[in-house]
Structure 1
């Protein structure tokens, strides 16, 4: 009888250990970031690289990590034609400062513009291991506002357009910025 009881206890402990759904698979879609692409204002179909772009969210001190493989301050700088930005999962509004040519010794070419985004959030359950994810729906009437830190004459972001309003994955361009 004791052997049967011991066997049942061992079987119970073995079957109550980690289940496959206790580990979130890295390929499972989670809260997406927003894909922004940059274009040449003179040739609107041509992608254009930004130089030393730093993006700082309202309330942040360091900035958004745009280059996760870099170290030091370089991880906050983008030098390409697209970036992925996270949206706030606890509010329906976010404001970012886009600093072009960040850290340049010539202060005349460093330019700061602000991008404010309005959206609604939708939370959905993924699994016990992954928890919840949030997707976003940009406000189609009042999607975003682009402003400059000083005057509108100095905007480096000359035009911006939302190409899509539902942010459900990181593979689709949401906003195109022309400069």
Structure 2
């Protein structure tokens, strides 16, 4: 049973890494599940501190994933209309059947929001939309790094307890 949990946990780690790029999958959450599955084995002793701290990290990462693109819009001179456009565009982009809609949505949403605020300043709207895109890239990179750290910790634990697992 330990080997099955270990294999499923490793699959969760790999899916989590892909999920850090695909907003349809909660990448860091799936990676965390992989860690928890490894701790469910009889070979790896329970460590509730690690599970608790990594869960709090996942909650913070998930929250920041929605905040950072909006802050990027604001940082690049966007108004609250651009921030709302970013958030609405992110939701629409996630739900739309358009390929890469999760990237296009926040950009277009911020641009349209800024044009709604002031249709005379297309340069400012484009700058705010660029801020939204940079914020999206930053949050994606942050999720990817967390998933890689979780994978590294998973491999460390697996290597340390490999004789007990097999």
TM-score w.r.t. length of structure 1: 0.23
Higher Cα Rg, which structure: 1
Question: When you count strand as a share of all residues, which structure comes out higher?
Answer: 1
TM-score w.r.t. length of structure 2: 0.24
